[in-house]
């Protein structure tokens, strides 16, 4: 029997952060993990996918931009897929190892195994070494989510895969059918296509990334994907698959008619579901809603007063950075600080080509929140010197501000390094900045960041590097 002040269940980007912050605050802390430190994010999600995206992005540049830049590669470029996957794995391992060192450095006890609540004060941890009992005054449930499986497509992670399997392909698949045109499906589609794979995206809605990002942004990515040769089937429903001699045949229903998509691998990325059915939450009396999310309040406390929940299990958006923010929050709440979750915005990033990033409200959300009059502008990367010199001019920065107060409400970026540029928007929105604040801050030249300044100027009607008609008063 071990006793702790705080026990965190799950060592993903929410859990390990909660554990470290708890230890920093002087609590005797343990973190329980059944699979790998860093969770999905570091091991089979964010980090490894970014490794693959970076590599294929370079490949693509070499193939398409080098010649024009006067860089000639003699003899072509081979992709050593085994080495690529090995390198990708080394990135994950390095990051996961870093988490291990941090946890140890802070004196956090790492317990490997499957956790199950016995009561609100006790859990049992099952591992190959046996079962042990762990007690704590406070528990933090950070058990995350898992890919949703659809009927007829049971994951084997070799041919019928979730993102986990897709990230582990050690040969370049010839034909892949991607079921679901959300951000995970499109990130993987983007880089598979660059490796030469024939990709067919099967999307139930009439647009990609529908309801996920600003439609203008989605359009740029859709166009580029299509141009790159990704085949997209809209209004399409994957009904089943069968193994045939040379791969798989996926039956897809479009407009009431069945069609067949031939492929070698099937990737199912229709979303993720919270692991509310795991860890025997019921034994502790923790309330879980019908979708599997643990119900929490603004302090991320569950209905059981000594148990908190963070990250994917605690509700949308299911994003690593939101989980980490909550991890710090709950540790400080446990320490008696007066804290609540009151972030104005959780940025979202899609690592497609080009990248999409957003913070704050969309146009529709702003209107729904009572901002009837809006200033909306777009500044294209094509008008930015740095983007031109990078040969990455697809996309724009779109800004939405309140017309009366000029307060910045939302920023939507599609283009090179959108993921890095969005942080400025997050800060501006959290600080309650006006668009003048962005326009009047001197941005370094020549950088992609200048597009933020110019987009802000564009909302005021006077961006320098595009021709704007004077705005009507």
Binding site for other proteins (CB under 8 A): 1-6, 23-28, 94, 97-99, 101-102, 104-105, 107, 109, 111, 121, 132, 135, 137-138, 297-299, 301, 305-306, 333-344, 369, 405-407, 430-432, 434
Q: At its nearest, how many Å lie between other proteins and the CB of residue 362?
A: 14
Catalytic residue status for 60:
no
Q: Which is nearer to other proteins, 132 or 198 (CB)?
A: 132
Q: What is the 3-state secondary structure (H, E, C) of the chain?
A: CEEEEEEEECCCCCHHHHHHHHHHCCCCEEEEECCCCCHHHHHHCHHHHHHHHHHHHHHHHHHHCHHHHCCCCCCCCCCCHHHHHHHHHHHHHHHHHHHHHHHHHCCCEEEECEEEECCCCEEEEEECCEEEEEEEEEEEECCCEEECCCCCCCCCCCCEECHHHHCCCCCCCCEEEEECCCHHHHHHHHHHHHCCCEEEEECCCCCCCCCCCCHHHHHHHHHHHHHCCCEEECCEEEEEEEEECCEEEEEEEECCEEEEEEECEEEECCCEEECCCCCCHHHHCCCECCCCCECCCCCCECCCCCEEECHHHHCCCCCHHHHHHHHHHHHHHHCCCCCCCCCCCCCEEECCCCEEEEEECCHHHHHHCCCCCEEEEEEEHHHCHHHHHCCCCCCEEEEEEECCCCEEEEEEEEECCHHHHHHHHHHHHHCCCEHHHHHHCCCCCCCCCHHHHHHHHHHCCCCCCCCCCCCCC
Q: At its nearest, how many Å lie between other proteins and the CB of residue 25?
A: 6
Q: Which is nearer to other proteins, 113 or 449 (CB)?
A: 113
* Residue 361 among known ligand-binding residues: no
* Residue 38 among known ligand-binding residues: no
* Residue 145 among known ligand-binding residues: yes
Q: Which is nearer to other proteins, 290 or 342 (CB)?
A: 342
* Residue 143 among known ligand-binding residues: yes
Q: Which is nearer to other proteins, 5 or 157 (CB)?
A: 5
Q: At its nearest, how many Å lie between other proteins and the CB of residue 75?
A: 35
Q: Which is nearer to other proteins, 171 or 338 (CB)?
A: 338
* Residue 400 among known ligand-binding residues: no
Q: Name the catalytic one among 64, 445, 462, 465.
A: 445
Q: At its nearest, how many Å lie between other proteins and the CB of residue 334?
A: 5
Q: At its nearest, how many Å lie between other proteins and the CB of residue 341?
A: 7
Q: Which residues are catalytic?
A: 445
The annotation places the binding site at 50, 143-145, 180-187, 203, 271, 312, 318-321
The annotation places the binding site for NAD(+) at 180-187, 203, 271
């Amino acid at each position: 029997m071990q006793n702790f002040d705080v026990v965190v269940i799950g060592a993903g980007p929410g859990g390990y952060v909660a554990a470290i912050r708890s230890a920093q605050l002087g609590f005797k802390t343990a973190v329980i993990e059944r699979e790998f430190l860093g969770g999905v994010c570091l091991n089979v999600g964010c980090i490894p996918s970014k490794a693959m995206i970076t590599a294929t992005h370079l490949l693509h540049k070499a193939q398409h931009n080098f010649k024009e830049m006067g860089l000639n590669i003699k003899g072509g470029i081979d992709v050593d897929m085994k080495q690529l996957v090995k390198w990708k794995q080394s990135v994950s391992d390095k990051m996961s190892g870093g988490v291990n060192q941090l946890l140890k450095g802070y004196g956090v006890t790492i317990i490997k195994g499957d956790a199950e609540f016995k009561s609100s004060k006790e859990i049992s941890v099952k591992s190959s070494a046996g079962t042990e009992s762990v007690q704590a005054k406070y528990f933090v449930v950070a058990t995350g989510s898992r890919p949703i499986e659809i009927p007829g497509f049971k994951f084997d992670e070799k041919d019928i895969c979730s993102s986990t399997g897709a990230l582990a392909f050690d040969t370049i698949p010839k034909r892949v059918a991607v079921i679901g045109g959300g951000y995970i499906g499109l990130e993987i589609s983007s880089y598979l296509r660059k490796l030469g794979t024939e990709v067919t995206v099967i999307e139930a809605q009439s647009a990609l990334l529908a309801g996920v990002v600003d439609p203008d942004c989605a359009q740029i990515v859709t166009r580029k994907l299509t141009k790159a040769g990704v085949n997209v089937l809209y209004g399409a429903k994957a009904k089943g698959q069968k193994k045939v001699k040379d791969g798989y045949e996926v039956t897809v229903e479009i407009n009431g008619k069945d069609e067949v998509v031939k492929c070698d691998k099937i990737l199912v990325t229709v979303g993720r579901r919270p692991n509310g059915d795991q860890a025997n939450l019921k034994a502790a009396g923790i309330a879980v809603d019908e979708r599997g999310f643990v119900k929490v309040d603004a302090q991320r406390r569950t209905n059981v007063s000594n148990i908190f929940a963070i990250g994917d299990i605690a509700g949308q958006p299911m994003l690593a950075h939101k989980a980490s923010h909550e991890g710090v929050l709950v540790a400080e709440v446990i320490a008696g600080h007066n804290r609540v979750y009151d972030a104005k915005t959780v940025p979202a990033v899609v690592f497609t080509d080009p990248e999409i990033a957003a913070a704050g409200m969309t146009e529709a959300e702003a209107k729904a929140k009572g901002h009837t009059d809006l200033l909306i502008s777009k500044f294209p990367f094509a008008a930015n010197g740095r983007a031109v010199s990078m040969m990455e001019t697809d996309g724009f920065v779109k800004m939405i501000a309140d017309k009366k107060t000029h307060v910045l409400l939302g920023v939507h970026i599609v283009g090179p390094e959108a993921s890095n540029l969005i942080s400025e928007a997050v800060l501006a929105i959290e600080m309650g900045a006006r668009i003048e604040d962005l326009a009047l801050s001197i941005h370094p030249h020549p950088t992609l960041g200048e597009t933020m300044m110019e987009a802000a100027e564009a909302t005021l009607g006077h961006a320098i590097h595009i021709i704007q008609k004077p705005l009507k008063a």
